[in-house]
Amino acid sequence: MGIWGWPWGRRGLSGFGSASTAEDIAAGIDASHLTAIVTGATNGIGKETARVLALRGANVIIPARTLESGLKVKESLAEEVPSSKLHVMEMDLSSLDSVRTFAGSFNSSHKHLNVLINNAGIMACPFQLSKDGIELQFATNHLGHFLLTNLLLDKMKSTAKETGVQGRIVNLASTAHRRSDGKGFDLNKLNNESNRKKDVI
C-alpha cells in the first residue's frame, strides 16, 4: 500500500492495510516455536506487538529502559494473556554500552532468536546529547538499533540454520521524512543544535 491509501485503511498486496489490527494479521498463526525481541514494548505499538506475539504463543523478550517499567508492562500483559511467556531485560538504546550489555546477556542466556522488532523511538524532543555525546533521537532510533541488530545477527543466523525457520528483522519507521526540505541529511551537522532546530519535522 502506498502512503496515499493509509488514511482510508486501503489494503495493500499483503491483504492488510492501516485498518488491520495486529490480531487480524497474526490470526491463525502458531508462534509457539518462536523467540522475539520487541524494543519499546513498554508503550504504544511495541506493547501491542508484544501482546499479540505472546497471544500467539511466542517467547517475547521486552528490553526496557528500567526493570521497573518492564515488569509493570509484563504484569499488565500477563493479565490479558495468562499463558504469555514474557521476559524483561534492561536496555537503554541511547547508550551504546547498555546495548552491548543487553546483547551480551541475551546471547549467553538464550539459545534462539527468530524475530527482532526494532520499534522503540523518540521524536521531536528538545535537543539533547546522549551519554555517548550523540544527538538523542539519532542515538536512540538509529545507532542503538543498528548496534543491537549487528550484535544479534549471529544468533539469528545460527537459529535459522538450526531450526530451518527463516528469521525476520522489522524496523519501524515513519513517513515523516517525506516532509523534509529535500536537502538530505547532513551527518556532519548531526550534533549541531541550531541546525537541528531548522531541520526538525
Ligand X SMILES: NC(=O)c1ccc[n+]([C@@H]2O[C@H](COP(=O)([O-])OP(=O)(O)OC[C@H]3O[C@@H](n4cnc5c(N)ncnc54)[C@H](OP(=O)(O)O)[C@@H]3O)[C@@H](O)[C@H]2O)c1
How far apart (Å, rounded) are the C-alpha atoms in residues 20 and 32?
22
Evaluate the CA torsion angle 29, 31, 33, 35 in order and state its sign.
positive
Number of Cα atoms under 13 Å in the Cβ half of residue 160: 12
Q: In a 3-state reduction of DSSP, which class is residue 84? A: coil
Nearer to ligand X, 26 or 160 (CB): 26
70 lies in the site for ligand X, by CB under 6 A = no
Q: Does 43 bind ligand X (CB under 6 A)?
A: yes
Q: How far apart are the first and last CA of the chain?
A: 23
Q: How far is the CB of 66 from ligand X (least distance, A)?
A: 7
Smallest separation, CB 33 to ligand X (Å): 26
Judged by beta carbon, residue 40 or residue 167, the one nearer ligand X is 40
Q: Rule CB under 6 A: is residue 137 a binding residue for ligand X? A: no
Rule CB under 6 A: which residues touch ligand X? 39-40, 42-46, 65, 69, 91-94, 119-123, 140, 172, 174
